[in-house]
Structure 1
Amino acid sequence: METLTIGRAKLTWLNGGVTHMDGGAMFGVVPKPLWSRKYPVNDKNQIELRTDPIVLELDGKKLLIDSGIGNEKLNDKQKRNFGVLEEARLDDSLRQISLTHEEIDGVLMTHLHFDHACGLTKWENGELVPAFPNAKVYTSKIEWDEMKNPNMRSKNTYWESNWKPVEHLVHTFDESIEILPGLQMIHTSGHSNGHSILLFEDGEDVFMHMADLMPTHAHQNVLWALAYDDYPVTSVHEKEKWMKYGYDREAWYVFYHDAHYRALRFNTKGEVVSQIDRKSYSYE
């Protein structure tokens, strides 16, 4: 599996499943001849989007960034509509790095849409239970409140099955929270009203996880917002702010959804200077 060490932090990508979503929806008003040059599309106009959680090992703690698509959480119609050809293999992935679900100390939820939150719960003896029973689940208060009380649009992605079993584990914050020294979750809104990003700074070593403000490398252009975004103008302004912040520090940008790159490092001009490619791997 792919790993990346940035200062005190070690990142390892797990296999959390895959979706195939409409390319037009993923790139909003951007014409297909432009976005399709940057990201491959299939004959159904869908693009491959991984849902791969990232294990973050920092200061003796083991944290998970988002939770994957889960297992047996979607019905056949949902699998077909969302192009789910592969569900999560977190047990296998964690075993390869000698970890268990019980050893995860915290889950950092950038937002709680189904493709990020289905892995928070699992089926056990016919009922849903926390997939990471000893972990604190961090998310913004705005996101958590909407998760529990979705509106007529968001009820299609905020599911009771993903929040009710973990309600006692959830810790919310308002504008930002420092999870560990140098590691922050920062509320941005945009993609969802409660959407957050992650920022880690250890001296000159920096990584950012823009979550669904920049779900793939092809979304680097600050104007390329998703049709799925609840507040696309906010997405554009927040992305502009945080891309500049990262460029100025020559930060790594790490991805949950990208099917081709795990991480890219940009210089002050926004040019790629280092990259971690996603590799195909199998389990013994």
Structure 2
Amino acid sequence: MKLISLLGNSQKLDGGAMFGNAPKAMWERWYECDDLNRIHLQCRCLLVQHEGKNILFETGVGAFFAPNMRERYGVQEPQHVLLASLAEHKIKPEDIDIIVMSHLHFDHAGGMLSSYSDDTPPKLVFSNAQVIVSEAAWQRAIMPHARDKASFIPELNKLLETSGRLHRVQGTRSELLGDEFRFHYSDGHTPGMLLTEITSDEGPVVFAADLIPGTAWVHVPLSMGYDRYPEILIDEKRRLLADLNARQGKLFFTHDPSIAMGTVHLGDKGKFGVVEKIETV
């Protein structure tokens, strides 16, 4: 099994929204912000090569936004960065066998769509990929609440539904993936978010998605302004961190500006953190 960290399109988002319950005097010590109060965030994806299959965990925000929307949401690059990252490893979009989505917010799922064009409707970029998402996350995407409706992409939902390649899971395993992969579920950020645990050669690795988007959010009390149920999220985070700490497990971070993965560690003062941080896998 081989794990490869891939960069997708990056974003600059409001630091106050990303650190919803922490004051700026605290969070600006962790991440620098620009004059618009925005911090730099990656949309990092994980490629797992296993038993002859290319398994992609998330696709980032991609380049599907029209220019005005790209500016609104702070997407930094006009081109589809994930496709270029895959090309560096000599992998074409049609070579991806499976895509595992934690949830379908646009900054995680937009990369499944082709780049914006004035006169061409979007299409699915990964033409052969089977797409895995939880049933609860799918239901949320097609029937969102008014609070998070803008986070979803109706065009993507329609394309996935008619593709014949959408797999909506409810249990902890998927036959497509096999026994080396199992799902944890989280509802705090959005209902039905899948956190996939990968049994790698170096121990368990959990794709942390938006439960723990980066190293700073390993601090248990932190939550984002985007989280639907912050208290539930904090409890979910504490349970996962305690479990991984006991098993010397690792977290893969999708939004951290520089760190791709780290090992969960419980410090002397009873606070969780990550050690053995690495920028690439």
Q: What is the TM-score with the length of structure 1 in the denominator? A: 0.88
* Aligned residue type for 2:212: M
Is 2:253 aligned against 1:255?
Answer: yes
* Aligned residue type for 2:103: H
Is 2:88 aligned against 1:60?
Answer: no
Is 2:128 aligned against 1:134?
Answer: yes
* Aligned residue type for 2:124: P
- CA positional deviation for 1:186: 2.3
Q: Which residue of structure 2 aligns with residue 107 of structure 1?
A: 99
* Aligned residue type for 1:206: P
Within 5 A, what are the aligned runs for 1:1-284?
8=1, 10-71=2-63, 73-87=64-78, 88-122=80-114, 126-167=120-161, 168-178=164-174, 179-202=177-200, 205-269=203-267, 270-277=272-279
- Report the Cα distance in structure 2 between the residues aligned to 1:50 and 1:42, rounded to whole angstroms: 16
- Report the Cα distance in structure 2 between the residues aligned to 1:198 and 1:36, rounded to whole angstroms: 30
* Aligned residue type for 1:231: Y
Q: What is the TM-score with the length of structure 2 in the denominator? A: 0.89
- Matched pairs, number: 270
The answer on whether the counterparts of 2:180 and 2:199 sit within 8 Å (CA) in structure 1 is yes
For the residue of structure 2 that corresponds to 1:12, the secondary structure is strand
Deviations 1:5-37 (A, max 9, x none): xxx3x2212231011111111111112112221
The answer on whether the counterparts of 1:102 and 1:133 sit within 8 Å (CA) in structure 2 is yes
The answer on whether the counterparts of 1:175 and 1:187 sit within 8 Å (CA) in structure 2 is no
The answer on whether the counterparts of 2:215 and 2:273 sit within 8 Å (CA) in structure 1 is no
The answer on whether the counterparts of 2:213 and 2:256 sit within 8 Å (CA) in structure 1 is yes
Gaps of at least 5 residues in structure 2 are none
* Aligned residue type for 2:169: F
* Aligned residue type for 2:250: W
The answer on whether the counterparts of 2:264 and 2:273 sit within 8 Å (CA) in structure 1 is yes
Distance change >3 Å, CA 79–CA 164, structure 1 → 2: same
Range with greater deviation from structure 2 (61-70 or 124-133): 124-133
- CA positional deviation for 1:175: 4.2
Distance change >3 Å, CA 271–CA 19, structure 1 → 2: closer
- Report the Cα distance in structure 2 between the residues aligned to 1:214 and 1:27, rounded to whole angstroms: 12
Q: Which residue of structure 2 aligns with residue 3 of structure 1?
A: none
Identity rate of aligned residues, in percent? 29
Distance change >3 Å, CA 272–CA 194, structure 1 → 2: closer
- Report the Cα distance in structure 1 between the residues aligned to 2:135 and 2:122, rounded to whole angstroms: 23
Higher strand share: 1
Gaps of at least 5 residues in structure 1 are 1-7, 280-284
The answer on whether the counterparts of 1:259 and 1:278 sit within 8 Å (CA) in structure 2 is no
Deviations 1:165-196 (A, max 9, x none): 12222101124224322211222111111212
- Aligned Cα RMSD in Å? 2.0
